[in-house]
Structure 1
């Protein structure tokens, strides 16, 4: 039996991609982003964009898929966090 390293990549990608969805779902349901760190989500979203870009550059499908899918909830959560901070003027808090 031959070991297929792509399985590891796809499995890691699925885990990385789906881990963002529970937070995004909670934000979608409650619209509450008060306890979310803006700095952390900004950094995370930039990281996911860079990992996706890296995957494109090296033509690595598991990396592109995982980060492409994971980018959706990251961007949504980041967007709502920024919108809520603007509405309540709590950027530095």
Structure 2
């Protein structure tokens, strides 16, 4: 049996909160069947960072860091998969009109 120290406990709570933060976004995308406002660039950068944190967690043998970043990675990839899926289903181009007028 592995005994968790106080810092590992704090890490696990932090991991649960940050990992759970993706659930509302995933539910919103799924229910609305749209991820048009999700930025590919932001998620690619985010996933790259999470992969680095995951590797770091493995290197220092930090179970909270490994578990949380693995879960976050799966959820971030799920967001991109849903974005791609719903874009493929809606061939209508999105035209955004700025509320500001140019002078």
Q: TM-score band (shorter)?
A: 0.7 to 0.9
Large movers: runs of 4+ above 6 Å: none
Using the alignment, how far apart are the partners of 2:33 and 2:76 within structure 1?
15
Q: SS of 1:36's equivalent?
A: coil
Q: Give the corresponding residue for 1:30.
A: 32
- Alpha-carbon distance change, 22 to 54 in structure 1, aligned in 2, over 3 angstroms: same
Report the TM-score, using the length of structure 2 for normalisation.
0.71
Q: CA RMSD in A?
A: 2.5
How many residue pairs get aligned? The number is 89
Deviation at 1:88? 4.7
Partner residue of 2:67 out of 65, 68, 74: 65
Q: Which runs of 5+ in 2 are unaligned?
A: 97-103
Q: Which blocks of at least 5 consecutive residues in structure 1 are unaligned? A: none
Q: Name which one, 1 or 2, has greater alpha-carbon Rg.
A: 2
Cα distance per residue 1:4-59 (max 9 Å; x no partner):
11111111111111111211121122220111121111111121122112111211
Question: 2:74 and 2:35 mapped to 1: Cα distance?
Answer: 17
